[in-house]
Amino acid sequence: MTTEMTRETNAASTGKPYQATGPAVTVVVPTIGRPSLAATLAAVGPGPEIVVVDDRPEASRGDDREPLPVPGHVRVLRSGGRGPAAARNAGWRAATTPWVVFLDDDVVPGPGWVRALTDDLARLPENVGGSQGRLEVPLPPGRRPTDAERNTAGLADADWITADMAYRRTALEATGGFDERFPGAYREDADLALRVERAGFALVKGERLTRHPVRDDGFWSSVRFQRGNASDALMRRVHGRDWRAAIGGHGGRLKRHALTTGMGLLALTLAAAGGRRRWPAAAAGLAWLGLTAEFAWARIAPGPRTREEVARMAVTSVVIPPVACAHRIRGEVKARTDGVRTGRRS
């Protein structure tokens, strides 16, 4: 099924040329133009075919965007800002190799990555549809990590994420690739993994190493991250109630967020009614305050506890519960109106 390709790459660990013989591979990198793309491409090097998919939105008038600063051997496609799932689909469908490796545009493949990738894929049996690289998240030394840094560090233990994930082309063809109903870089990779396994392919973990640096996405990054609750709703509708266990995930805090939001709304409603409802309003308010304080402390305690981090956790812990619930409701409504059924794709 696979064609063989011989290529010569520079093995960074030894400094000597490495003659790699194995299945031909295309590296697909979706991007919105982040500066980190340059480091990703430099770490891959000139060995394999590379397709960068420019997912920046199309300009409203003509095409006045700056071209992506990529090396001359890199092929660039455009996907029109339709999200990472659509961008990855455009990339693998443009490739002709039996294997496609998806990298994020903010990761840095380790020294000798191409050689390790070749070794990971060369002897896999036909029933293996995917191979995940090992992910390392370097944390700042000398202090405890922030909430955002801990969230990024959790990627190191995640299964089948497209930070570094190779798929056999036949597995992608059998499943149709990524489900483009997932709008952001969240759960679209887990959804594909479950469908690949359902199609009869096995997924394995390789030995190649890729680093995922942490970055500061701003004060409100944890609030923006709550958009993923809409994707969780789609996962439940497509894969059933046990989808988290199927991907090796854990329960999350949505039920607590719903309780916190409910207590807050109840306190405001009763307080507005006045009269004898002031005491029940105070009780609901105290319940809201206690739940919010518990959530904030759960995020503050393991961190560096600097003034800036405590302030960020205090403010965002108030905002996150209602925002998370709103996104989950939005996702449930959209899944129902789109006619999504458990275990099937519309």
Q: Which residue has the higher pLDDT, 227 or 3?
A: 227
3 pLDDT more than 60: no
Tell me what the mean pLDDT of segment 242-256 comes to.
87
| The predicted structure's pLDDT at residue 342 | 52
Tell me what the mean pLDDT of segment 283-304 comes to.
97
pLDDT tens, 55-68?
999 754 455 678 89
pLDDT band at 160 (very low <50, low <70, confident <90, very high): very high
pLDDT tens, 105-118?
999 999 999 999 99
Mean pLDDT of all residues in the chain? 89
Q: Which residue has the higher pLDDT, 216 or 298?
A: 298
pLDDT band at 190 (very low <50, low <70, confident <90, very high): very high
Low-confidence winner among 51-60, 182-191, 255-264 (lowest mean pLDDT): 51-60
Measured in degrees and rounded to the nearest 5, phi and psi for residue 230 equal: -65, -40
303 pLDDT more than 70: yes
Q: Which residue has the higher pLDDT, 19 or 29?
A: 29
Of 214, 208, 10, residue with least CA distance to 110: 208
% of residues, the chain, pLDDT over 70: 89
pLDDT band at 14 (very low <50, low <70, confident <90, very high): very low
| The predicted structure's pLDDT at residue 16 | 40
| The predicted structure's pLDDT at residue 47 | 86
Ranked by mean pLDDT, the top range of 7-16, 20-29, 174-183 is 174-183
| The predicted structure's pLDDT at residue 21 | 54
